[in-house]
Amino acid sequence: MWKYIVKRLLWMIPVLLGIAVVIFTIMYFCPGDPAASILGNGATPAALEAKRAEMGLDKPYIVRLLNYLNQVFLHFDLGDSYFTNQSVMSGILYRMPYTITIAVICMLLQILIGTPLGITAATHQNGLADRFCMIVALLGVSIPGFWLAMMMVILFAAKLNWLPAYGVGGIQYYILPCIANAFAGIASQARQTRSSMLEVIRSDYVVTARAKGLSERDILYKHALPNGLIPIITVIGNGMGMMLGGTVVIESVFSIPGIGSFTTKAINNRDYPIVMGGVLFLGAIFSLIMLIVDIVYAYVDPRIKAQYEGQQKSWKRRKK
């Protein structure tokens, strides 16, 4: 199993390399001039040219791309901000706890709310509970996160004055942003859990367990749910990536100093090193999350673990 983990970690290198190339290319062809943003509208053409040369923006695309890849992957340096001259990596690490806190809370909400909703819907198929759960799921996948966030700020912060509208502090500061960011994930989790459970509870072994006189609770949680976990775990992993991506908007709405708002401000200021560093950092975290999901697969489904072990034994035989 550990050889598979090492192999997946090595595969992260070309994935991150691809992300770096794509985001660099997007920033290169993106309209706007960082030198003009720094010097202002009154800068002369000569001053702009000198500033571009100082920042290395006058070089051809391929030269700048190779320099950036060399800087990131060989020297592990994300560069410095165009405006503050501070290290991008230090800025990301400073803001990382806020983003990770939001993403983890959202993931827990997705699991603890979405999974029971899906199970309830599956066990009460076509009933009132099923319809209610699916209406909640439909709203979740239909309502944009930024719109829900602003409506919640108007209602719970401005009108009712129950919760703070912006900033960071105690747990009360994370309630509104986490609910707004997790609502779509909860909906996806409920829909996938319902679909997976409906497929499993019709299986022969569930019918046999029911015929033996086992309680519905034991049948559901000891037989049906463990065998339907693979698609559910996949949604959890994808949902974590969605939560990380959603922080770009949610942190801006609630003025949370995380990686998302850090990147958004950098986009507005044409601060390309921060934008590229933030995207690359979030891509690395998501790649690690998907690796963890694959490892969890092996411990949930013995067949997948046996497949990994079989590949390792076959590799050892070929080596001999």
**Mean pLDDT throughout 302-308?**
63
Crossing angle (nearest 10°) for helices 145-152 and 172-200: 130
Rounded to 5°, angle at Cα 75 from 36 and 89 = 55
Rounded to whole angstroms, the Cα distance separating 243 from 249 reads 10
pTM of the model: 0.79
| 114 pLDDT above the threshold of 60 | yes
1 contact partners, CB below 8 Å, separation of at least 6? 295, 298, 305, 308, 309, 312
| 304 pLDDT above the threshold of 50 | yes
| Lowest-confidence region among 20-34, 109-123, 298-312 | 298-312
Q: Give me the pLDDT at residue 315, please.
A: 47
| 104 pLDDT above the threshold of 50 | yes
Q: Which of 279, 267, 276, 252 is nearest to 37 (CA)?
A: 267
Q: Give me the pLDDT at residue 1, please.
A: 62
116: confidence class by pLDDT, cuts 50, 70, 90: confident
Q: Give me the pLDDT at residue 185, please.
A: 87
199: confidence class by pLDDT, cuts 50, 70, 90: confident
Could you say which architecture CATH assigns to the domain 97-318? Answer: Orthogonal Bundle (1.10)
